Amino acid sequence: MPILDSHTIEFFSRSPEQTRRIGMRIGAEVKAGDVICLQGDLGAGKTTFTQGLAQGWGSQDSVSSPTFIIVNMYRRANGGKLFHLDAYRLDSVAEAEELDLDAMLAEGALVVEWPERIGDLIPRERMWINLDHIEDEHRQMLFKANGRRYDELLEVIRQTMFGGS
């Protein structure tokens, strides 16, 4: 059963295109102040998911991994912003504090790869998505909502991917 409890859904993606599509569905609902955390090993599909999310959100910019830049900012026609943070190369929580996540969230939505590396700086209310490499192009995706807003995003996934609860 893909719905593990009222705050958690498990989904198996069979291709990068399918991973992008689920990102697109969530991206269409993302708004300023939203936090989407993507946890998973290298090659698990975090950037692929973010490409779909940004496309669904309406990004005018192409999406690439911000591993060396740390934060990419994407724009859309109506002036919205989507911040894409890769915490993999951050050496400490103190270094992450210098990025001022609160300012990013005041201006737009935030997608964080490797969120476990910055600990309590991540707001308690968020969508946490764990991506696991199963084989070749198959990925297991576990969506965990923390907070009412993220329960609403989880419901979007239920409705679009599974036809309801």
Concatenating the DSSP letter of every residue in 142-165 gives: EEEEESHHHHHHHHHHHHHHHS--
The CATH number assigned to the domain holding 139 equals 3.40.50.300
Per-residue pLDDT at 130 exceeds 80: yes
Distance CA 153, CA 105 (A): 17
Model pLDDT, residue 162: 65
Model pLDDT, residue 58: 93
Nearest C-alpha neighbor of 3 from the set 145, 146, 149: 145
pTM: 0.89
Q: Among residues of the chain, what percentage have pLDDT more than 90?
A: 58
Domain that holds residue 51: 3-162
Which H or E run contains 23?
helix 16-27
Distance CA 20, CA 45 (A): 9
- What's the number of domains the chain is made of? 1
Confidence tier at 109 by pLDDT (50, 70, 90):
very high
Each residue's pLDDT tens digit, 19-41: 999 999 999 999 999 999 999 98
